[in-house]
Homo-oligomer: A and B are copies of this chain.
Amino acid sequence: MELRHTHRLFIDAALAHNLTLQPDVGQTHYLQNVLRLKTGDVVRLFNGRDGEWKASVAAVAKRSITLALHKQTRPQQATPDLWLCCAPIKKAHFDTMIEKATELGVTVIQPVLTARTQIREVNTDRCRAIAIEAAEQSDRLTIPDIRKPVTLDDMSTHWPAERQLVVCAEWGDADPIGNVFAGSREEAQKPTAILTGPEGGFAAEELETVRRLATARFVRLGPRILRADTAAIAALSCWQAMCGDWKD
């Protein structure tokens, strides 16, 4: 099998030459009972720090599997500094948002609780599992950092001064997203966060709060009303295409 068609596995352990390692119980189950790997089968491993490694199954026992690392197949690489700050939405659409945001290369997913956010609980372990699977399938070398939910007020109060905040909301001086991202290349390439609201949108006073942040930019995503997950995917795609690592 060609290396690029072998399974990729995120693993939370150091990766280096001549190491052998034993995945945890959950991954061992997955490797043995879902992928049905046998001695000699090849997988690729990454941990977010040490690049991607070719490994093979050295031994299979009843409840353990031993992987032997052979060589690094890709060095660790820096990726564009792009966050998604998103109000949680209904489950299936939130799952889609996490999956797609991971494929689209976000480094941080920050759930944000807003006035109209109906879903107040976020299962970050579940989100992390979705993100890990999407990272494994998309050839990423990292997984996004899934943060604990914060309120929009707290997020605004502690907003990092150097990070551009692109707010997906038609309000006040919202500009077409393509104009904003095609503008000053220098500004566009600053560390960036995309902010999307809940199903019911942001409250006007919330937008006023966000507006006070020096780095906030309001963007419009056309004349149709987009669902929150569509808006997030669209904005992230436009950013990667115009400012991120989809360019030459």
Of A14-22, A107-115, A173-181, the stretch lying at the interface with chain B is A173-181
Pair A222/B238 contact, Cβ less than 8 Å:
no
Interface set, chain A 22-60, CB cutoff 8 A to B: none
Q: Does A198 contact B (CB under 8 A)?
A: no
A105/B222 contact (C-beta < 8 A), A234-B233, A234-B237, A241-B178 known: yes
A138 with B225: in contact, given A176-B247, A248-B179 (CB under 8 Å)? yes
A246 — which chain B residues lie within 8 A by C-beta?
Answer: 176-178, 220-223
Chain A interface bracket (under 10, 10 to 19, 20 to 34, 35 or more): 35 or more
Q: B238 to A103, Cβ gap below 8 A?
A: no
Among A235, A240, A246, find the residue whose CB has the most chain B CB atoms closer than 10 A. Answer: A246
A151 in the interface (beta carbon within 8 A)? no
Closest to A101 in B: B230
This protein's copies in its complex = 2
Residue-wise interface mask of A (202-240) relative to B, using a CB-CB cutoff of 8 A (1 in contact, 0 not): 000000000000000000111111110010011101101
Q: In chain B, what residue has the closest Cβ to A135?
A: B224
Contacts of A237 in B (CB 8 A): 221, 233-235, 237-238
A103 proximity list for chain B (CB < 8 A): 224-227, 230
Question: In the complex, what residues of B have CB within 8 A of residue A234's CB?
Answer: 104, 233-234, 237, 240-241
CB nearest to A102 among chain B residues: B224
Of chain B, the residue at the smallest CB distance from A92 is: B92
Contact: A244 with B230, CB < 8 Å? no
What chain B residues lie within 8 Å of A226 (beta carbons)? 103-104, 138
Report if A13 contacts B (CB, 8 A): no
Task: Decide if A118 is an interface residue (CB 8 Å cutoff).
Answer: no
A-B contact pairs, 6 of them (CB 8 A): A139-B224, A140-B224, A182-B242, A220-B246, A223-B246, A233-B233
Please give the residue numbers on chain A whose beta carbons come within 8 Å of chain B beta carbons, in ascending order. Answer: 96, 99-100, 103-105, 137-140, 176-179, 181-182, 220-227, 230, 233-235, 237-238, 240-242, 244-248
